[in-house]
Amino acid sequence: MKISKYSSLIILFGALLGFIWPHPGILLRPLLNILLMILIFLSCLEIDLNKIWQTFKKPKLIFLELLIVHLASPILIFIFLKPFIQPELFLGLILVTTVPVGRSAVFLSNLFGGLPEKALIISSLSNLISPIVLPLITYYFARSTIKFDAIEMGSSITIIIVIPFFLALIFKHFNLIKKIINYQTDISTILVAIIVWGIIAPIHSQITSHFYLSLILTILSLVLMSINFGLGYLLGSSQPEKITYAISATYKNYSLATIIASLTFPWAIMVTLPSLIYSISNNILLLPLQFLLKLNNEHSNHR
């Protein structure tokens, strides 16, 4: 039985453990970087550099998709929310909405009738540019709000993403991935749940003490993710393409955002809070998404 079929429930269970059984989660804190690097390594095992190179022959749609992934929500937050929220919260929202596409987009594209190979290319490109794009965009929008070291942030992202990426390429080159690949999604699901547990546990009391703010952030994150989904959907010409672009624009590496926020701003819970909320909302969104895409596919089949 593939436990990755129940990934949303398992990840939500990891979040729940952070609240009801925080002590083991606190002990996980020093290991979070390593766990995330293992997760990224597993996600990179199926990357085909030749296919990535071929996308540059028709780059327009991929370029527009990357603009949606990295810029759509930050621009909306900057225009409509900056005057009304405190600086740390604004920075946290900019940071979490700028992160690259998560590998869950590949799995979900396959699950909902999209094009997983295209989702893999989008995810790979998004992650490769993120050590430059993430700190640059965050600094551009938030530099007047709160001071931080964009170079240090970029260095942390480079270590967390680039090392596992090249390590995965080496494993693939020497055919060392056959035994791993069959269990890749299951291991990744468990790792994400453990990471979420380890992130929430040390700050669970602060989250519960900001319950109403967390609720507002949940609603806001669902609205912004839905906008990203709609923009991605409009890019595609065929139904599988629409699904792929929509999911890739929505399902991002929020675990990376949470760890970068906690590393760069350990003193500011409000910078980390949006990333935590997005990690949970991301899975909540799966429930209506699954229903809507099923209805859409049935409608397409009847035409």
The domain in which residue 100 lies consists of 3-302
**CATH number where 284 lies:** 1.20.1530.20
Q: How confident is the model at residue 294 (pLDDT cuts 50, 70, 90)?
A: low
Q: pLDDT (tens digit, 9 = 90+) per residue, 164-184?
A: 888 988 988 888 777 777 788
Supply the pLDDT for residue 303.
55
**C-alpha dihedral, 97 to 41 to 179 to 120, nearest 10°:** 40
Distances (CA, A) of 55 to 40, 147, 278: 22, 37, 29
pLDDT average, residue stretch 140-154: 79
pLDDT average, residue stretch 121-139: 91
Neighbours of 229 (CB within 10 A): 22
* This prediction's pTM: 0.84
List CB contacts of 73: < 8 A, sequence separation 6 or more. Answer: 97, 98, 224, 227, 228
Q: How many domains does the chain have?
A: 1
Q: How confident is the model at residue 300 (pLDDT cuts 50, 70, 90)?
A: low
Residue 222 Rama label (left phi>0; alpha psi -120 to 50; beta) = alpha
Q: CA–CA separation, 104 vs 106, rounded Å?
A: 5
